Structure 1
Amino acid sequence: MTRRTDSGYGGIRHRDIEVNGVRLHLAEQGEGPLVLLLHGFPESWYSWRHQFAPLVAAGYRVVAPDQRGYARSEQPAAVDAYTLLHLVGDVTALIGALGGEPAVLVGHDWGAPVAWSTAALRPDLVRGVAGLSVPPLPVSGLPPLAQSRERFGDGFYQNYFQRPGVADAELALDPRSTFRRVLFSGSGDRPGSDRPSGWVVPEGLTLLDTVPEPEKLPDWLTEDDIEAFAADYAEHGDRAFTGPLNWYRNIDRNNELLTAFHGCRIEVPALYVVGDRDMVTALIGPDALRFLLENLTPKLHRHVVLPGAGHWTQQERPAEVTAALLDFLRHLDG
């Protein structure tokens, strides 16, 4: 079913597809080998707007879904419908629905663990995988909440997101303000971003209290971009962010469900791209990052660090990210 064909980015087509009983919205363009772009929190297909045209021009079929629960895609009601197994299942089903040939996966933020885990569990369907911001992690995904609480306290954003309805209401009250605040605060343009740290909500404050609305947007982000993100989320109303937050509400469940796969490595060619002002670099630390890359991605092609970039890599540094992806695709295609 096609719902909207005009994206503001020339030639990108939009349609819906049902996988695993869930309706997903797709943005797609081009012909050739499949490159599947998986966005993160709290974004949509639109976060990849700068990558479509160059990848299509290089001869690839580019598809960016709004992942389960996000933006224009359907939101299953049950919290436990958002486990990493469900998310990997959506990707494998999408690859099948789009022709069944092995794809190149590119994931940013939460999309990165989905991409890394799909590559580890179904290497027959993945010929290469790139992670932006979040490095390869054990297949079980993010660390258990108790570990995060012990290190950062109850106010750590992943723990804060566990409170039913709280962050949901805050983020949905004014989506345009939410996107301005969250995207600016995680960027390399935020004052103090040269000293990245974890996102912690102090006692007595709300989530959005910690991310003031910027007086001026950075050069890479426009009011039209804010409007595009807000419009993508509009159909879910006051539950606009509940589906995305439910991904976080399955962190411990993921660790329980995927214990059988501990120790699995990513045996396909890989690429990792991160900004040196990304809070993920502070959360993980250089020694742990080196360990993860060396032990989980034996076929790592490159580890690219973007000076001055924050968390929103493909939006903040579109030319550099696209160049790294094209270099990786050339590597895969010989």
Structure 2
Amino acid sequence: MNASSSLSDIPLPPGIRSRFVDGINGLRMHVLEAGYETRGRPCILLLHGFPELAYSWRKVMPRLAAAGYHVIAPDQRGYGRTTGWNADYDGELNSFRLLNMVRDVLGLVSAFGYRAVDAVVGHDAGSSVAAWCALVRPDVFRAVVLMSAPFAGPPPLPFDTADGPPKPKRDDPVHRDLAALPRPRKHYQWYYSTREANANMHHARQGVHDFLRAYYHHKSADWKDNAPYPLKAWTASELAKLPTYYVMDFAKDMAETVAEEMPSPAHIAANQWLPDSELTFYSAEYTRTGFQGGLQWYRCGTSGAFTTELETFSGRSIDVPSCFISGKQDWGTYQRPGVFEAMQTTACSRMLGCHLVDGAGHWVQQEQPEQVSRLLLEFFKQAKIGG
């Protein structure tokens, strides 16, 4: 049952409950929970990405609970039924910065009475939050799983510069170069940071439901042109090889972009991993909240306003046991050239596995939940042996 009668029921599998937890860093946090029937279980925390919700973990949670874990999945700041955040484009961005997201997660863990959790698992934008949780508080987050978005490590500080002339900060020419291509393009993260991005999706001509259907389809293994490979460099010519959901046509918004890849009614009817009855919950939630809460995360990243705070951890690596899971058909693994490799060589010092799951695109835990659950449980066992 939901804590508010004005909210619709969530179509959850047996064994998952919905609840609210107050006083979490200024938030009233909506949480899905499995394995809550008995106390004293080890805890696993699941952090969703964009445009998703705690609901995105519905297929994995019962499997982890059956293995003996207490599983907690929140609607993160900016999303779903969690309240206490501000979606005003002209409001403050400060609360959406990465280290405050870590504070949100710490507060949630503490509210549930845990001094530490066995693992934090993050998907997409949630992967960044999970990575910083493990980097900043390894005493609390004893292992980490990064999904669909590899972690490059903290931003570096300028090094060995005392005896040289000061170098001006160089502007990244890639956006100008993308716009100057014969087929002008733009990067989706910078588009997501614009004032109009929320309205483009929230008031999409096709409606929120069909927008999300096309968006999820376009980034899934169902879209047959998703056959990713490493890019050579962060240059316009290389980035232009990415699908349009990452590097968009310059004159199009995201709703127009994905509308071109809308699956047929027959394809939708045959979809097993995201039937329309489940998509309806996402579309109802995003119709209610809009997308700006999630877009604030992108704005924090593209603005560079909080980079200096992250540079405090320059040179640090994730030293707890770590694992990476992504769809084999997910371009997210390679969208930032060199990061997938850096994660395995320098950013994570105890990486125990790196898995690309066939038959999954970007929504790996929804497209291939059995495989993902198996890989998670194997890693949790391994991490304990190594810890």
- Same topology, TM > 0.5: yes
Deviation sequence 1:113-163 (CA, Å, 0-9, x none): 00001100011111110011111232359xx99476367556110011121
Amino acid in the other structure paired with 1:2: A
Amino acid in the other structure paired with 2:365: Q
Q: 2: CA distance between counterparts of 1:274 and 1:135?
A: 9
Report the counterpart of residue 28 of structure 1 in structure 2.
33
Unaligned 5+ residue runs, structure 1?
none
Which residues in structure 2 correspond to 1:175-214 (within 5 Å)? 175-195=208-228, 197-198=242-243, 199-212=246-259, 213-214=262-263
Q: 1: CA distance between counterparts of 2:273 and 2:122?
A: 20
Report the counterpart of residue 233 of structure 2 in structure 1.
none
Task: Tell me which of 122, 145, 154 is aligned to 1:107.
Answer: 122
Greater radius of gyration (CA): 2
Report the counterpart of residue 301 of structure 1 in structure 2.
352
The 3 A distance-change label for structure 1 pair 266 and 195 is closer
Q: 2: CA distance between counterparts of 1:304 and 1:145?
A: 35
Deviates more, 1:75-84 or 1:155-164: 75-84
Report the counterpart of residue 171 of structure 1 in structure 2.
201
Report the counterpart of residue 321 of structure 1 in structure 2.
372
Q: 2: CA distance between counterparts of 1:226 and 1:330?
A: 33
Report the counterpart of residue 13 of structure 2 in structure 1.
9
More helix by share: 1
Query: What percent identity do the matched residue pairs reach?
Result: 32
Amino acid in the other structure paired with 2:263: P
Amino acid in the other structure paired with 1:295: T
Amino acid in the other structure paired with 2:308: E
Contact 2:202 2:286 in 1 (8 A): no
Deviation sequence 1:49-92 (CA, Å, 0-9, x none): 11111100000001100000111112324341211111111011
Task: Tell me which of 138, 143, 147 is aligned to 2:153.
Answer: 138
Shift of 1:267: 1.0
Task: Tell me which of 337, 341, 344 is aligned to 1:290.
Answer: 341
Amino acid in the other structure paired with 1:25: H
Unaligned 5+ residue runs, structure 2?
157-169, 180-184, 230-241
Q: 2: CA distance between counterparts of 1:324 and 1:306?
A: 10
Contact 2:29 2:74 in 1 (8 A): yes
Report the counterpart of residue 186 of structure 2 in structure 1.
155
Q: 2: CA distance between counterparts of 1:117 and 1:261?
A: 10
Amino acid in the other structure paired with 2:34: Q
Shift of 1:195: 4.5
Q: 2: CA distance between counterparts of 1:140 and 1:90?
A: 22
Which residues in structure 2 correspond to 1:18-57 (within 5 Å)? 18=22, 19-31=24-36, 32-57=41-66
Secondary structure of the residue that 2:282 maps to in structure 1? helix
Q: 2: CA distance between counterparts of 1:209 and 1:86?
A: 33
Shift of 1:234: 4.1
The 3 A distance-change label for structure 1 pair 50 and 92 is same
Q: Size of the alignment, in residue pairs? A: 327
Task: Tell me which of 245, 250, 271 is aligned to 2:323.
Answer: 271
Secondary structure of the residue that 1:231 maps to in structure 2? helix
Q: 1: CA distance between counterparts of 2:177 and 2:379?
A: 36
Shift of 1:308: 3.6
Task: Tell me which of 295, 299, 302 is aligned to 1:249.
Answer: 299
The 3 A distance-change label for structure 1 pair 255 and 66 is same
Shift of 1:263: 1.5
Deviation sequence 1:162-214 (CA, Å, 0-9, x none): 211x1101211222122101111111111311257251221222212211222
Q: 1: CA distance between counterparts of 2:209 and 2:200?
A: 12
Contact 1:145 1:159 in 2 (8 A): no
Deviates more, 1:55-64 or 1:200-209: 200-209
The 3 A distance-change label for structure 1 pair 93 and 49 is same
Q: 2: CA distance between counterparts of 1:306 and 1:229?
A: 24
